[in-house]
Amino acid sequence: MASRDTTPAGDRLSHVAADGSARMVDVGDKPVTVRRATASGEILMAPATLALIRDDRLAKGDVLAVARVAGVMAAKRTADLIPLCHPLVLDDVQIDVELVESLPGVRVRTSVRTTGRTGAEMEALTATAVTLLTIYDMAKAVDRRMVIGNIVLEAKSGGQSGDLSSLDGTGPAR
């Protein structure tokens, strides 16, 4: 006979069943709402590499355009990459890239919107990570010491777990 889980719902991992096995969360009874998520990250590089990207002088072509497309494609395929993640129909994916001389490097910020029963946090994080990985791939011939980091969920809204914002002190430390 399996033991009954008496842990309060808010103290359990949602993708772990009472017996410890992995499971997909049943979202069938959740209301359909507009859900948004924003994630960001950065890639640090040599100043000369940043200049090559800025001036569109890398042999592989327009690094930032290709990276944005890769990020959008990744957001749409998140459920294929992350086990137990629900496939979502995305209403919008916006990927902003900023060349930052003071890093030096590129900062990426991704915003995702969907209307559904589960949030888009994983899509925003996946899109950010793949955008950064694509920048690395396109520039690695000139700079193999680039560092990808600080990938964080900045904000999310919609759904029963409430809103999160790194700007209001409820989000991750930056």
Which residues are designated catalytic? 137
**Nearest 10 degrees: Cα torsion 93, 94, 100, 105:** 20
Phi, psi of 55 (to 5 degrees): -90, 5
Rounded Cα distance, 55 and 64, in Å: 11
Burial 37-59 (b: 16+ CB within 10 A, else e): bbbbbbbbbeeebbebbeeeeee
**What DSSP designation does 64 have?**
H
Tokens of 29: 């009874």
Rounded Cα distance, 71 and 131, in Å: 5
